[in-house]
Structure 1
Amino acid sequence: MMLKEETTVASGTLPVAEFRAHLRLGTGFADVGAEDAALEAYLRAALAAIEGRTAKVLLARDFMLGLAAWRGAVEQPLPVSPVSAISEIRLVDAAGVFTTVPSESYRLIADLQRPRIEALSGVLPSIPAGGTVEIRFRAGFGPSWSDLPVDLAQAAFLLAAQYYELRHEGAGEGDAMPFGVAALIERWRTVRMLGGRG
């Protein structure tokens, strides 16, 4: 399995000004542009860390999931949520030639914990020998910061603030999540049992 992010969060989507206010930093200094770039980097790092812990995509973007085999004959779970749309499923043979799977042959079950693709009749199409299936989809709570649940938005600010405060002390070494952040994201964590099978 390979999950690839095909689009990224635009810089204008990140609340750098609000984060600056959260940190109570001044404005109007000559190096404010460089500092804003650093603040954006801390926000991106915090988003990535929270997404990694929760399997929830915070800000909407496009992904491609590549598989050598289906997880099940009639449905395929997706590794992140919330998923809002499947844009394309295509079968790619060993020579790289692809065939698009008709959208009327499957549906998205947009479950917040276990989103999945389900065959509408029969089974999912066979993957060519030596080939793969590519599933392209859009995931995320929404395109803007205001679409995030308040606890996840607050967790991102708290974690990014820690990265900022400890920037000269090797912040990020080790994998311990601060207690306040861990408490805020706990209810969003996906419990995986049976290797993802239902």
Structure 2
Amino acid sequence: MTSVLVTPPVSEPVSVDDMRAQLRLSGSQEENLLTEFIEAARAQIETETRRAMIRQGWRFYLEAWPMGRVVTLPIAPVLSVNEITVYDQDGTGTTLDPDDFTLDRGACPGRVRVKLGAGIPTAQLQGLEIDFTAGYGDSAADVPAPMRQSIRLLAAHWFENREAGTDLAMASLPHGLDRLISVNRVLLL
């Protein structure tokens, strides 16, 4: 089972102005660096929590249907399942009809139930692909405040501790970041 980001988010949940306020910076100094820290912090927090913040497209590869034909998707929250493609022995893909599967958005992470008899993969490896959209929405306002705060804390930490070799940079993370991440982490069973 592998998941790949297909369509990255078009915006960030934290703006450069938000970071300037967090760091108490005036002026427009180091705007490019702040942008890079925001992007990197968002990617790190998303990886740690297994949550997508701003709407983004993912592809999930499986070799076969799991027991009960219920697939737990690896990223939360799931907004929609766009397409499920099943491959035969020759590598020819067949797209399932949307009536052949149901998305359970209430579960965290989201789950897809596929009807019995719909699309039986026969390829040996990567027998099926599920394309889905994950995230809280299209804007920063859609992302929960604790998730945005975790980005600000981590980006600010990296901004203030730029030398990787310093004892402070190596020994600590910002106060409270571990708690913000742990309570928002999606558990995989």
Q: Distance in 2 between matches of 1:66 and 1:118?
A: 16
Q: Distance in 2 between matches of 1:117 and 1:7?
A: 20
Change (3 A) 1:14 1:190: closer
Instruction: Give the fraction of aligned pairs with identical amino acids, expressed as a percent.
Output: 30
Post-superposition shift, 1:24? 1.6
Change (3 A) 1:94 1:109: same
Structure-1-length-normalised TM-score: 0.83
Question: Hey, which bits of structure 1, 4+ residues long, moved more than 3 A?
Answer: 11-14, 93-96, 173-179
Residues 154-174 of structure 1, C-alpha deviations (whole Å, 9 max, x = no match):
111011100111112358x86
- Give runs of aligned pairs for residues 47-196 of structure 1, distance below 5 A: 47-119=42-114, 121-122=115-116, 125-131=119-125, 132-170=127-165, 177-192=173-188, 196=189
Structure-2-length-normalised TM-score: 0.86
Q: Distance in 1 between matches of 2:93 and 2:120?
A: 13
Could you tell me which runs of 5 or more consecutive residues in structure 2 were left unpaired when the two chains were aligned.
none
Could you tell me which runs of 5 or more consecutive residues in structure 1 were left unpaired when the two chains were aligned.
none
Q: Distance in 2 between matches of 1:99 and 1:10?
A: 30
Paired residue for 1:3?
3
- Give runs of aligned pairs for residues 32-51 of structure 1, distance below 5 A: 32=29, 35-51=30-46
Change (3 A) 1:98 1:53: same
Residue 81 of structure 1 contacts residue 139 of structure 1 at CA under 8 Å; is this kept in 2? Answer: yes
Residues 115-166 of structure 1, C-alpha deviations (whole Å, 9 max, x = no match):
11012x4255311232521100000011111111111111110111001111
RMSD over aligned CA atoms reads 2.5
Aligned residues: 187
Residue 13 of structure 2 contacts residue 143 of structure 2 at CA under 8 Å; is this kept in 1? Answer: no
